[in-house]
């Protein structure tokens, strides 16, 4: 793979995805999205993601930015529905501000890129900020700043790759996800491409710790009642078997 030839496209995808997942109060939240979609639609990663890109454009043109923002809020912020967590730390440790946030902050400190705290309110390891950071890193590499190539590799392999598949599934399966199903199809295709680019494998699915449901205490009388019912059912089954074998 000629990495230099695809970095412009990678920067475009990261820029698009950052606008789809970042929480910002900026009035220019979706500035340039339609133009980016037009370019990506012309040269999609695969057929499925190409169709998804066309669906996203049609949605934004016909229903507008307000509809996109509402669906985003219903998936990530609305307490009426199960909220999809969007930080790497949550998927790594079960907390919103953990080691992965520290990792991203440390990576950020090695660059001239800084978080615009006035417009970007979420943690540095939130999906939206991670994609924005990667967009800026790739853009700097395109401009000739080759010293950031190792840093982008670390960001993908150590921060993005371990959790992004679980995040994609949760967003896709969310009851309020409509156009975000299409967004996750594009994201999934792009992540597969990035794994080829960085020559890293899809990580194995982490085994989740399940909380055992406590055993319900019952009274001696209830225990006797359940035992008697069990005995009656057993006796009835034996009678049926006996009749069937005569």
Q: What is the pLDDT of residues 108-158, one digit of tens each?
A: 999 988 777 776 778 999 999 999 999 999 999 999 999 999 999 999 999
> Which CATH class name applies to 3-198?
mainly alpha
- CA nearest neighbour of 125 among 101, 106, 103: 101
Q: What is the pLDDT of residues 195-216, one digit of tens each?
A: 999 999 999 876 554 333 333 4
- Between residues 233 and 228, the one the model is more confident about: 228
The residue extents of the domains of the chain are 3-198
Instruction: Give the integer Cα–Cα distance in Å for 115 and 122.
Output: 10
Which pLDDT score is estimated for 212? Answer: 33
- Which conformational region is residue 108 in: left (phi greater than 0), alpha (psi within -120 to 50 degrees), or beta? alpha
When the pLDDT of each residue in the chain is averaged and rounded to a whole number, the result is 86
> Dihedral of the CA atoms 124, 130, 135, 140 (nearest 10)?
50
Segment 52-78 mean pLDDT = 96
Which pLDDT score is estimated for 214? Answer: 36
Which pLDDT score is estimated for 226? Answer: 56
């Amino acid at each position: 793979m000629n990495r230099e030839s695809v970095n412009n496209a990678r920067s475009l995808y990261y820029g698009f995805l950052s606008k789809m997942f970042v929480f910002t109060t900026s009035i220019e939240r979706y500035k340039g999205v339609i133009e980016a979609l037009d370019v990506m639609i012309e040269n999609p990663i695969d057929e499925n993601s190409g169709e998804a890109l066309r669906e996203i454009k049609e949605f934004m043109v016909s229903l507008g930015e307000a509809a996109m923002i509402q669906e985003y809020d219903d998936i990530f912020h609305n307490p009426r529905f199960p909220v999809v967590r969007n930080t790497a730390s949550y998927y790594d440790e079960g907390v919103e501000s953990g080691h992965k946030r520290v990792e991203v902050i440390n990576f950020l400190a090695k660059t001239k890129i800084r978080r615009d705290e006035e417009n970007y309110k979420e943690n540095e390891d939130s999906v939206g900020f991670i994609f924005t950071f990667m967009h800026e890193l790739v853009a700097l590499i395109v401009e000739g700043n080759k010293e950031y190539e190792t840093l982008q590799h670390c960001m993908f392999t150590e921060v993005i790759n371990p959790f992004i598949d679980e995040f994609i599934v949760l967003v896709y399966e969310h009851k309020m996800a409509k156009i975000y199903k299409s967004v996750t199809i594009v994201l999934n295709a792009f992540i597969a491409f990035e794994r080829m680019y960085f020559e890293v494998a899809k990580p194995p699915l982490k085994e989740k710790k399940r909380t055992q449901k406590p055993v319900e205490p019952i009274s001696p009388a209830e225990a006797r009642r359940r035992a008697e019912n069990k005995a009656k059912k057993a006796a009835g089954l034996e009678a049926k078997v006996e009749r069937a074998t005569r």
